[in-house]
Structure formats: C-alpha cells, structure tokens
Amino acid sequence: MPGPGHGPNTKPMAKPKNVGAALKRIFSYMSEYKLRLVVVVIAIIISSSASVIGTYMLKPLIDNYIEPFIGQENPDMTGLVKMLGIMAVIYLLGAFSSWVFNRMMITVSTKTLYKIRVDMFRKMESLPIKYFDTHTHGEIMSRYTNDSDAVREMLTNSIAQFISSGITVISVFCFMLYLSWQLTIIVVAMLAVILFIIKKIGGRSGNYFKEQQKAVGAVNGYIEEMIEGQKVVKVFCHENKSKEGFDVLNENLRKASTNANTYANILMPIMNNLSYIHYALTAISGGVLAVLGYISFGTAATFLQYTRQFAQPITQISQQFNSVLSALAGAERIFNLIDEEPEADEGYVTLVNAKRDENGSLAETDERTGLWAWKHPHHDGTVTFTEVRGKVTFDDVVFGYNENKIVLNGITLYAKPGQKIAFVGSTGAGKTTITNLINRFYDVPDGKIRYDDININKIKKSDLRRSQSIVLQDTHLFTGTIADNIRYGNLDATDSEVKAAAELANADSFIKHLPDGYDTVITGDGGSLSQGQRQLLAIARAAVADPPVLILDEATSSIDTRTESLIEKGMDSLMEGRTVFVIAHRLSTVRNSHAIMVMENGRIIERGNHNDLISQHGRYYQLYTGMFELS
C-alpha cells in the first residue's frame, strides 16, 4: 500500500497550526448531537469488536470441532453448526453496527457543515468592504468548496475510521499476544521494516508531489492567463510564443509527475510483496510451533487471520492521516473567516418615513410618503427629525487605505441638495475613494464628513447607504429576471415602478425586444447582454431606489455616445432635487455639472463649473482641449 498520504492522486499535506483548537471548534458545532455521537462510538466499538471476536472463533472451531472430526465416520455436527451460527450472529451484528454509525455520521456531518456554512455566509455578509478588497474571490470561495469538502470528508469517514482502526489494532494486538507471544514478535519486527520503507520511499514521493502541485499551479495559472488574454495574443500574433511558454511549464510538470508517481507506484507492490513475505513467515513459524506442540493448529490459523487484520487498519490510519490534517487546516481557514471582525457600526441616527403635521413639523410614520427624515435621538431623551435633502460636506478629510500611503489629503468640499458634483483626474487621484467615504465603506481617521449637517459617523450605515444609490463602472447582475435585477434597488417596487425606472434609464427599448421582456431570465452576470445593456440595467436599478444622493462611478463608460445622450436626458429628471456625484474620464459627461473638482495626488487642485475652469487655462483646460490626457 502507498505510504501515509502518498499516492497518484495525493495532494501535499497542509498542516493546521493548532490541531486541538480546530478539533474543539468543530466538535462545538456537533454538541447538539451528543446522543447520536455516543451511539456512533458504541456502534464503532461493536463493529470493530465483532470483527476481532469473529476471527477468534476460528480457534475453537478448528481445535474443538474440525480437527477432532478428522477421520470420524459419523461425527456429531450439532456443536459445529451452533458455533457457525454464533459466528454468523457476531458478523451480522458487526455489519449492522457499521451501517448504523456510517448512516449517523453522514447525518451529523451534513448538519454540522450546514451550520458552519450558515455562520460563514452570515459573517461574510457582515464584513467590511476592506476585507473583500484585501482577499481574492477565489480565496474566499475555497472556504465554501475545498475546505468545506475536506471537513465533510473528515467527519463522514476519517474520524470513524480512526476510532475503528485504533480499536481494531489494539484488540488484535492483545489477542495476538494472548495466542502466541513468539509469533507476535515476528509481526512487530515486520511492521518495523514496513514503516521504515514507508518513511523512506513515501518521504521522497511526498517531496516530488509537492513539486508536482507547484507545477500544476503554474500550468493552470498560465492557461487561465492565456484564456483571458486570447484577443491580445491573436492581435499580436503571439500564438507560437504562448505555445513555447506552455511547453516549458508542461515539461516541468511532466518531470515532477514522473518522479512523484514513480515512487508512489513502486511503494504499493513493495508493500504487497512484504505483506506476502510476512504472511509466509508467520505461516511457516506457526506451522513449526504447532508441529512442536507449542500452539494448536487453530491458534496458528487464527493468528494468520489476525496478521491481515493488524496490517489493514494501520494502512488505513496512514492513508487518513494527511487528509485529516488537511481537513483541520481547512477548518482553521473557515474559522478564521468566521472570526473576522464584522463591520463596526456605532451609528444611532436612522432613516424613517416622515410626514408633516398641522404645524409643518416632521413626524415619523409607518406609511410610505416619499418624504424621508433622519431620526436623531439625543442624550436628554428628546428626538429630532431632519429632512433628508442630500447635502454633503467634507471638512479637511485625510484618508489612506493603510497607514503608509495617504490617498486623500485635506479634502474640503460641499454639495448642496440638487447639485451635480463631478470629479475628474488621473487614475489614482482619489476620485473613487471620495465616494467610498460618502457611503462609509471606509471611515475617515481625520476630518469630518457631514450628511444633512449630521456627522455620518452618527448615522447607521445601513440607513446611510439606503439613502444613496451607486452605479459602478463594473456592473454586477444577479441570476434572475430583468425585473428582479432592477427591483434589487428597491425590493418593494411595483411592476410599474420597475418599468418607469427602465424607461428613465432608456433600458425599456431593448428590454421589450428580449424573448420574455421583463421576465427574461439572465445568468452568468448577464453574459447574454452587451456591456452597455448591463450598465443600463444598473442605472435603472439605481433609479428605482429613488435616493436623495446618487453616485455615478464611470456609469456611462461602456455606452456609446448616442445612448449616453439619451440616458443623460432621462437622468436629468432622476437627478432633479438630488445630490449627484459623478466620476468620469469622458469630460463631455460633466460639462453641465454645478461644480467640477479636478484632483491630483489626493488633492483638489481646481474647482468650479465648466466655464470657470476653461477660463482659468489650468489642468482642466488642458484635459478638455486634449493638451493633457487622462490616464
């Protein structure tokens, strides 16, 4: 058999940092299944014991019945039949116990994984944007796939296998010592030889398998990169160059795989031959001892069976060892996600539906009136209501995604309700960062941001974000109907409101031509739609939310000029009475802005409307006239 964790399909072992803590955490999820786990352990003990005891029954069967019957003409078979019946009952009891613990462990493991996945997803939904900015999607997805599968396999099979094999090894060894200490010495000596060979050959195989996995990663990464860049490869006619690069990586993989599988494949025949040698030595030694009268023939036959039973569970333990450690390492990664600090929110000002009483004062209401207010409780027990109008001010804001790199330095600006504020500048100037701060994806360490004259740190994040809509450059659509994707901006929106939002974004014209109109189901992030159509749906989704503040981050970058002009006409009515922040490289989209902020290196270097900035003959003038290009 292959050595511990080494074989043709073996992956390099990932070791957990704290085995005990990982196991304790997993078992904490299984605490409500204590009674079932007790039954499982009892069933494993019965199953393992039945196999060992059933084998021992060979000794009295041979010594007391079969051997004495040799040469008799009419032997009494009553005792033999009774003994065989007892053996059958023992083995049937063992088989039933095996079915019980396997069935129960499947139930326990699936329910445990269900609870773990629920905790993972709930925590993921509570994490700050910073977590997703610093962890790749593949890294997060591996927690739900590879790591969860490894834990499931461990709970379903490995733990029960460990307990069963451990009980079998100890029981068989005790019975072998009881039957013949001389033959037991031979078993132990051969076991030492086998373990030595496993360590030597298996160790080399493990090193080569690590090289193979590294080579597999390099090949897969290269293939993925070439698939994504096929257009570029073909444009520059680099097909042959790509093949050369692949051939080098593929050859490295071939060499590593050859070495790894060579050692892994020779290990199995070596182990099989050693087991035959071991069996032959035990049989010869047992026969000699039986002939000399030291042991009975029943003892020799039973001991031979025990040699098989002794080696098999040891092999099973060695095979499961690496998979268990890999599963525990995966469990640690899962628990690291679950233990991540959720997004902090100390806000206490909330967004409520409001109406005006007879005196014209704002009051909270359960009805949807279209009038929104900030509900602001104070320390003295009083509550004030401030109408949501979309006034946003920055006061000397300093921010960096980490302490070593400041992205915004001393940003001061204001946006009156209903104003359209545009940000232009080179990539990395800090434009998108400003919008990330407005909706509190990140909190500012220095300076103040106020929303309707309320410090946004006092506003509950969910309510702050509910008062805004964002249209991003990278549009994301969900699996579902067109209407569902638009309604994502406001789950309470009626069909007529969805249609009105689509008309406002100029998306209605192409939606009506889809096979099922608004009921057309899209999948794969809307892959069946063009980039422009996907962006139109994102704009419609923002429109149906009916927010006081609208953020457009390169919202029309993937739309042709004609469609863009039609959208802008529709957006005019959407932006009426709302504060709008626009980030754009296409300067034609910001000409009608009330104020344009020209940014460079985290600072606002120019501000004013289009005509003011053109008259200054500064950076904006250079950008607009093409003397200086945005990058």
Between CA 409 and CA 430 the distance in angstroms is: 9
- The predicted structure's pLDDT at residue 8: 37
581 sits in which H/E element? strand 579-583
Between CA 543 and CA 560 the distance in angstroms is: 20
| Structural domains of the chain sorted by starting position, each given as residue range(s) with its CATH number in brackets | 19-338 (1.20.1560.10), 350-387 (no CATH), 392-625 (3.40.50.300)
- The predicted structure's pLDDT at residue 202: 65
Nearest CA to 436 among 124, 127, 128, 121? 128
Between CA 265 and CA 551 the distance in angstroms is: 61
Between CA 517 and CA 178 the distance in angstroms is: 81
Q: pTM to 2 decimals?
A: 0.75
Nearest CA to 335 among 576, 77, 119, 30? 119
| Residue found under tokens 């994502």 | 488
- The predicted structure's pLDDT at residue 2: 38
CB atoms within 10 A of CB 619: 19
Provide the b/e sequence for 66-90 (b: ≥16 CB within 10 Å). Answer: beeeeeeeeeeeeeeeebeeebeeb
Does residue 507 surpass a pLDDT of 80?
Answer: yes
Residues with Cβ within 8 Å of 290's Cβ and at least 6 positions away in sequence, in order, are 296, 297, 299, 300
Nearest CA to 205 among 502, 5, 477? 5
> Among 79-88, 96-105, 178-187, 529-538, which is the least confidently predicted range?
529-538
376: which strand partners?
384
- The predicted structure's pLDDT at residue 212: 77
Between CA 456 and CA 526 the distance in angstroms is: 34
105's tokens: 């462990």
Does residue 344 surpass a pLDDT of 90?
Answer: no
**Section 410-424 average pLDDT:** 89
CB atoms within 10 A of CB 399: 22
**Section 229-251 average pLDDT:** 82
Does residue 80 surpass a pLDDT of 60?
Answer: yes
Does residue 238 surpass a pLDDT of 90?
Answer: no
Amino acid at 618: G
Q: Report the relative pairing of strands 579-583 and 549-553 from DSSP bridges.
A: parallel
Q: What are phi and psi of 85, to 5 degrees?
A: -65, -40
**Section 531-543 average pLDDT:** 84
Half-sphere exposure (Cβ direction) of 446: Cα atoms closer than 13 Å: 12
- The predicted structure's pLDDT at residue 5: 39
12's tokens: 């390099």
- The predicted structure's pLDDT at residue 519: 92
Report the interhelical angle of 78-126 vs 19-29 (nearest 10°): 90
Kindly write down the DSSP assignment for every residue of 170-190, as one continuous string: HHHHHHHHHH-HHHHHHHHHH
Radius of gyration for the alpha carbons in the chain, expressed in angstroms and rounded: 36
> Among 3-17, 87-101, 216-230, 380-394, which is the least confidently predicted range?
3-17
> Among 102-111, 266-275, 596-605, which is the least confidently predicted range?
266-275
pLDDT more than 70, % of the chain: 90
Average pLDDT, the chain: 83
Inter-CA distances, 483 with 486, 542, 553, Å: 5, 13, 23
- Residue 478 vs residue 15, higher pLDDT: 478
Between CA 542 and CA 505 the distance in angstroms is: 9
> Among 456-460, 538-542, 626-630, which is the least confidently predicted range?
626-630
Torsion, Cα of 14, 15, 19, 22 (10° steps): -40
Amino acid at 164: S
pLDDT range class, residue 573, cuts 50, 70, 90: low
125's tokens: 């939904």
Between CA 92 and CA 87 the distance in angstroms is: 9
Inter-CA distances, 184 with 177, 179, 272, 317, Å: 6, 9, 20, 20
Amino acid at 35: L
pLDDT range class, residue 453, cuts 50, 70, 90: very high
Q: What are phi and psi of 523, to 5 degrees?
A: -135, 175
Query: What three-state secondary structure class fits 580?
Result: strand
**16 touches 331 (CB < 8 A):** yes
**Section 240-266 average pLDDT:** 84
- The predicted structure's pLDDT at residue 198: 73
